[in-house]
Amino acid sequence: MDEVLLIDKPFGISSFGVVARVRRVLSAKAGKKVKVGHTGTLDPFATGLLILLAGKATKRSNEFLKLDKEYIAEIRLGETSTTGDPEGEITNSYSNDTPKTDGEVKKVVQSFIGEIEQKVPAFSAVKINGRRAYELARKGMEVDTPTRKVHIYNIEILEYKWPNLRIRTEVSSGTYIRALGEDIGKKLGTGAYLTALRRTKIDKYSIEQATPLEDYLKINS
């Protein structure tokens, strides 16, 4: 029970929900409560690699902090979301009928490579005066989140057909891909939000090494 677990998180469940399910099956299997923790969350709408630590492995959590990550993101141009993702209120933000060209999109996307300043989204787990920002934002309160320096090592355009843009990006720890998607839309003058997000790598760990949550629960039940 003392192990590092690589789990492929499905859509529609929180990272804490994944931890709870894994803890439940491992505790039942061991006949005693087994400690399980995650090393970095994914939003409910996002899928992909989660690293969980079970049993004595939870003491190794510091090893998994501040690791670089890779994501594949799908971005909808011409619309915005109050949360930066599909869970928010969607608004059409681009009235011009002329789509952005491949060249325009490529130029803007590549301009984000390197060290950038990024404002933490209001709908995030960062603490503001001791409370999670998303808790305040959900109550309609104005949230003044901090700005952080992050590093975008690479962004590759996988597919672009207006208004849908699909990218692969390698980033430093602490980078919000929702904010990156929104910033790309702002710089293009169209607005944008993430329609899908998948984490494919955390440092040396890859999604190909991960077990889908449903399969892991079946194997250990």
CA dihedral 84, 18, 72, 128 (to 10 degrees): 40
Nearest by Cα to 143 from 151, 152, 155, 134 = 134
Residues 196 and 96 in one domain: yes
Residues 45 and 150 in one domain: no
Q: What secondary structure letter does DSSP report for 140?
A: T
Residues 23 and 107 in one domain: no
Looking at the structure of the chain, the number of domains it has is 2
Residues 12 and 75 in one domain: no
Residues 120 and 150 in one domain: yes
User: How far apart are alpha carbons 64 and 108 in whole angstroms?
Assistant: 32
Residues 46 and 90 in one domain: no
Question: What pLDDT, on a 0 to 100 scale, did the predictor assign at position 128?
Answer: 66
Question: What pLDDT, on a 0 to 100 scale, did the predictor assign at position 48?
Answer: 98
Residues 161 and 215 in one domain: no
Tokens of 220: 């250990």
Residues 181 and 110 in one domain: yes
Residues 116 and 21 in one domain: no
Question: What pLDDT, on a 0 to 100 scale, did the predictor assign at position 139?
Answer: 63
Question: What pLDDT, on a 0 to 100 scale, did the predictor assign at position 121?
Answer: 75
Nearest by Cα to 84 from 121, 51, 41, 38 = 121
Residues 138 and 211 in one domain: no
Determine contact, residues 106/155, Cβ cutoff 8 Å: no
Instruction: Identify the domain containing residue 115 by its residue range.
Output: 69-202
The residues assigned a catalytic role are 43
Residues 152 and 78 in one domain: yes
108-114: long-range pairs with CB below 8 Å, 24+:
108/184, 108/187, 108/188, 109/155, 109/157, 109/165, 109/167, 109/184, 110/155, 111/187, 112/152, 112/155, 112/180, 112/183, 112/184, 113/152, 113/153, 113/154, 113/155, 114/151, 114/152
Per-residue pLDDT of the chain (221 residues; tens, 9 = 90+): 679 999 999 999 999 999 999 999 999 999 999 999 999 889 899 999 999 999 999 999 999 989 999 999 999 999 999 889 998 899 999 988 789 999 999 999 999 999 999 987 766 666 666 666 666 567 676 776 778 999 999 999 999 999 999 999 999 999 999 999 999 999 999 999 999 999 999 999 999 999 999 999 999 98
